């Protein structure tokens, strides 16, 4: 039987408004900020640590976007399940030690739907074991069968309590089934709807809730379409919309602007 004193200290730590580990991580994060960012309105380092993400684990992708954030040899990197699970677990160990016991972390770096479903699921479970709420970053070009294989175990029952996915949709992406070269953001509206519908069916048929984000890279080419993309996408049922100005990183051969 566990010592009552240990039990009491554990209860005391769990019921603190901010755990000591989290408080130390916040102080460290605040100290890392440049002086110009330490303003009264700054949340990072005061109330939040900021979101996290995996790095360099599985860069493989099956689209040919312009711009592309991957290196020119990204598809040559090892991405098998055992490698992915082990490397993500190691990164989550580091994040737990340096950023505290809880956080939101993206499974990002390549296309998650190219991972074996069991490896994808085990990676998400590994992230949860380290106190992370995981979100899978994807281009969304997969079907119900893959999603069900990730969420459901061999016995057909849910092995994940909930899932979070960030679907990246924009007209700069090349190779999506059905619309390999979109002429504009409006061409992607049916595919955005299909993405949301998959997760609605998942909840209806298996009781697994989801949180869905919509990501869109913005360049001078599609900037005039952002307002209309917002107007048409908001009613679809995404929980969050995000727009990122293109960053000049990755494969320089894929940059056109």
Residue showing tokens 């700069």: 172
Parse the chain into domains and list their residue ranges.
1-49, 51-254
Q: Which residue has the higher pLDDT, 226 or 78?
A: 226
pLDDT digits (tens, 9 = 90+) for 11-29: 766 677 777 888 888 999 9
**How much is the pLDDT for 194?**
98
How far apart are the C-alpha atoms of 164 and 210, rounded to whole Å? 5
What would the pLDDT profile of 45-56 be if each residue is shown by its tens digit? 988 888 899 988
pLDDT at 77 over 60: yes
Tell the burial category of 59 from Cβ atoms under 10 Å away from its Cβ (0-12, 13-18, 19+): buried
Does the structure show a pLDDT above 70 at 241?
Answer: yes
| Residue 143: DSSP 8-state | -
For the residues 236-249, what does the mean pLDDT come to?
Answer: 90
Residue 130, C-beta contacts closer than 8 angstroms, at least 6 positions apart: 89, 92, 93, 95, 96
45 and 30 Cβ atoms separated by less than 8 Å: yes
- Average pLDDT score over the chain: 90
Q: Quick check: 136 and 165 in contact, CB under 8 A?
A: yes
> How is residue 47 annotated by DSSP?
T
- Report the distance separating Cα 64 and Cα 71, nearest Å: 12
Structural contact between residues 60 and 77, judged by C-beta atoms closer than 8 angstroms = yes
The CATH class of the 51-254 domain is alpha beta
Distance CA 59, CA 164 (A): 20
Determine the average pLDDT of the residues in 196-207. Answer: 98
Amino acid 184: pLDDT: 96
CB contact at 8 A, 30 and 43: no
Q: pLDDT per residue over 100-131, tens digit each?
A: 888 999 999 889 999 999 999 999 999 999 99
Note the pLDDT of residue 59. 84
Confidence of residue 8 (pLDDT cuts 50, 70, 90): confident
> What are the tens digits of pLDDT across the range 177-196?
999 999 999 999 999 999 99
Maximum mean pLDDT: which of 60-64, 159-163, 217-221: 159-163
């Amino acid at each position: 039987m566990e010592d009552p004193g240990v039990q009491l200290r554990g209860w005391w730590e769990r019921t603190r408004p901010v755990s000591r580990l989290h408080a130390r991580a916040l102080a460290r994060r605040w100290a890392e900020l440049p002086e110009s960012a330490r303003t009264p309105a700054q949340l990072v380092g005061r109330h939040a640590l900021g979101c996290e993400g995996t790095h360099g684990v599985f860069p493989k992708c099956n689209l040919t976007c312009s711009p592309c954030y991957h290196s020119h040899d990204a598809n040559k990197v090892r991405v098998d399940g055992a490698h992915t699970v082990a490397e993500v677990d190691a990164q989550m160990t580091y994040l737990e030690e340096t950023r505290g016991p809880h956080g939101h972390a993206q499974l990002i770096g390549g296309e998650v739907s190219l991972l074996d479903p069991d490896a994808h699921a085990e990676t998400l479970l590994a992230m949860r074991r380290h106190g992370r709420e995981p979100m899978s970053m994807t281009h969304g070009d997969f079907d119900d069968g893959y999603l069900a294989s990730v969420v459901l175990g061999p016995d057909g029952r849910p092995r994940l309590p909930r899932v979070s996915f960030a679907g990246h949709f924009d007209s700069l992406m090349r190779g999506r089934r059905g619309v390999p070269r979109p002429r504009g953001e409006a061409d992607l509206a049916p595919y955005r709807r299909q993405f949301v519908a998959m997760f609605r069916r998942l909840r209806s048929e298996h009781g697994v809730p989801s949180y869905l984000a919509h990501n869109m890279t913005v360049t001078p080419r599609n900037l005039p379409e952002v307002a209309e993309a917002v107007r048409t996408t908001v009613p679809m049922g995404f929980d969050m919309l995000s727009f990122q100005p293109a960053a000049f990183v990755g494969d320089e051969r894929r940059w056109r602007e």
